[in-house]
Structure 1
Amino acid sequence: MEALEDMRSRHRKEQEDLQSRILQKKKGASKKTRKGVNIECEDLERQLKEKHEAERTVLEGEPPVEVKETPDVDESVSENQSATPLNGVTEALQNSSISEPAQSEDGQTRKRNRQKERLARRAAEQEAALEEAKKEAANQPNSKEIERKKMVEQFEWRRLTEKTIRPDGHCLFSAFADQLSEVGIALSPDGESVREDQRYKVVRQSAARYIETHPDDFVAWLDEPLERYVEKIRDTAEWGGHLELLALSKSYNVEICVIQDGEPQTIEPGTEGAEKICLAYYRHGFGLGEHYNSLRKSP
């Protein structure tokens, strides 16, 4: 069965993949087609959101909804009809009255509780759907193990050693700061030393400053005002991604090689003689979802 946390991780991956697709669509849009592309992207985001909500409903279970009595609809099951039981039918359905009305001790016929019967059937259907989801999840490959194996193979082939970075929302910036220290590039413009637990803050400020001062390079890829986006990158634990790597590459004049499950991604500053650094990017390997680690040269 796909655990709730695994489902959330998968949802985050699907959301990240969708954002990458949207980024490419917007990147290729012209002024004439930008409006249509934005509408298409909004529709894709809506569809993914509805899909995720439906999967959460199946896994977490939907609370019963009160159903009003409908007198003119007869839902009774005759003696000549045979019902096909669902897998995992609950005790509520087994105990519900779906046959002839029962009689009380005084011989009076008791009225069937059709609302109770409907709710019992609904609970049985939900349980059957959950069991089916469990079976499907059990047959899925372990994405975390597959990704880790492929990453380790690349590390060994490239003679790199991985330094694990704390998964706290600042991982990209902390990993980047570690790489700058490895190649001897100062974090701050004035060259002053920075405490290790404060390095990510300096890197965040550098990324935010570059985005803010080069709006034409970034505005087309943002779904919110530039000022608000810059503030989140600078002052919160907002996750960093491709835009931040691009800003850092140009800000510090470094070529960034991102090792991942698949073809490595290279982000170049556009200048000659740039120092090269390496980061590891995971989609499944950590509980919070996507994650960056620092990659150092093996001794």
Structure 2
Amino acid sequence: MDELLAKHRKEQKDLQGRITQKKKSATKKTRKGVNDECERMQRDLTEQQQAEITNLNGDSVEAIESLEDLSLEDGAPTNGESNEDKTTQPAQDEPSPSPESEQPTARGKKPNRQKARLARRAAEQAAQAEAAAEEAANQTNYRGNEQEVMDAVFKKLGLREVEVTPDGHCLYSAIAKQLDESGVGLRPDPSRIILQPTTQSRIDTVASPQHDGYRAVRAVTADFIVEHKEDFEAFMEEPLDVYTRKIKLTAEWGGQLELQAIARAYGVDINVVQKDGRLEKIECGEMDSFEEEEKRKRVLWLAYYRHSYGLGEHYNALFEQK
């Protein structure tokens, strides 16, 4: 029995954790469905555990109750009396019993301690699950709130969002999609940056800018930082060669330094919609040299998330509505 109860406690604890996670990730639209699902999960687990307890104890509990119901007055005769003497000889000087007194007196059942313990534990587990569910419901829904804010900004600015695979390449993939669609292209103007042969090879071997274009953007970013190390090196926490090698050859996440290098290498301005609705601008500083139409296509848009994706920080591409 102790083993079974220990198993039940672990199942309840695991369920509470799952319920908490589900309610954290729920949005306003899905909250009712999530709450209903959590209640069903709790109900199913409780019924399953009660059935397991019944299967384990059913016969033995009945036997205990039967033993407890036995009357001590049904025992063997004493003082040399036979059963017949006990049942047929009336006691002397005692009045004859009235019809009412002849009715047998029902003995109350003794409380079953094992059943009481199980019921108490089940009640405690149910209370813990309810407390966990209430705590989860009262927590701030960061994911839902973030998406609501972002959607409102997209609508106000007339932007549509294009999902990018949530991995370490998301920043570079989002940039590659926009460089390709805008016509700027993955190969930067030679007057802005001298590309290394390996970088030129990466650009030439891109099969699809929409899928592996990030390889070219990573290489261009690394080359630009190396070529202008005096502008970037002071902000690095590791040697320049180590830092740029990670950009070019690994899935290391990109951030502010990389955005600055991309803007300057490709001659584009990058607008980043933040999780709280703010707009951050990274400028290349050379827009005045372009015609109006060229200026417009050289403005790239990114959506920056903190809570909506399982891996953490994430960038999606944004395009003007057509």
Aligned counterpart, 2:184:
185
Q: Report the residue type matching 2:266 in the other structure.
A: Y
Q: Write 1 or 2 for the structure with the bigger share of helix.
A: 2
Map of 1:67-216 to 2, 5 A cutoff?
138-189=137-188, 194-196=206-208, 197-216=211-230
Aligned counterpart, 2:36:
none
| Alignment check: 8 A CA contact 2:153 2:277 kept | no
5+ residue gaps, structure 2: 1-15, 22-129, 189-199
Aligned counterpart, 1:277:
300
Q: TM-score, normalised by structure 2?
A: 0.50
Q: TM-score, normalised by structure 1?
A: 0.54
- Matched residue pairs, number? 180
Residues 244 and 144 from structure 1, CA distance in 2 versus in 1: closer, same or farther, beyond 3 angstroms? same
Residues 2 and 293 from structure 1, CA distance in 2 versus in 1: closer, same or farther, beyond 3 angstroms? farther
CA RMSD of aligned residues (A): 3.1
Residues 135 and 215 from structure 1, CA distance in 2 versus in 1: closer, same or farther, beyond 3 angstroms? farther
Aligned counterpart, 2:321:
298
Q: CA deviation at 1:135?
A: 6.8
Aligned counterpart, 2:245:
231
Q: Based on CA coordinates, which of the two structures has the bigger radius of gyration?
A: 2
| Alignment check: 8 A CA contact 1:175 1:294 kept | yes
2:154 and 2:17 mapped to 1: Cα distance?
Answer: 29
1:186 and 1:286 mapped to 2: Cα distance?
Answer: 29
Residues 253 and 133 from structure 1, CA distance in 2 versus in 1: closer, same or farther, beyond 3 angstroms? farther
Q: CA deviation at 1:155?
A: 0.7
1:240 and 2:239 are equivalent in the alignment: no
| Alignment check: 8 A CA contact 2:272 2:279 kept | yes
2:304 and 2:207 mapped to 1: Cα distance?
Answer: 25
| Alignment check: 8 A CA contact 1:2 1:138 kept | no
Aligned counterpart, 1:255:
269
| Alignment check: 8 A CA contact 1:211 1:247 kept | yes
| Alignment check: 8 A CA contact 1:182 1:296 kept | no
Q: Report the residue type matching 2:226 in the other structure.
A: E
1:286 and 1:182 mapped to 2: Cα distance?
Answer: 25
Q: Percent of aligned positions with the same letter in both sequences?
A: 45
The C-alpha deviation readout for 1:214-266, integer Å capped at 9, x for no partner, is 11111121111111000001100000011100000000000000012231100
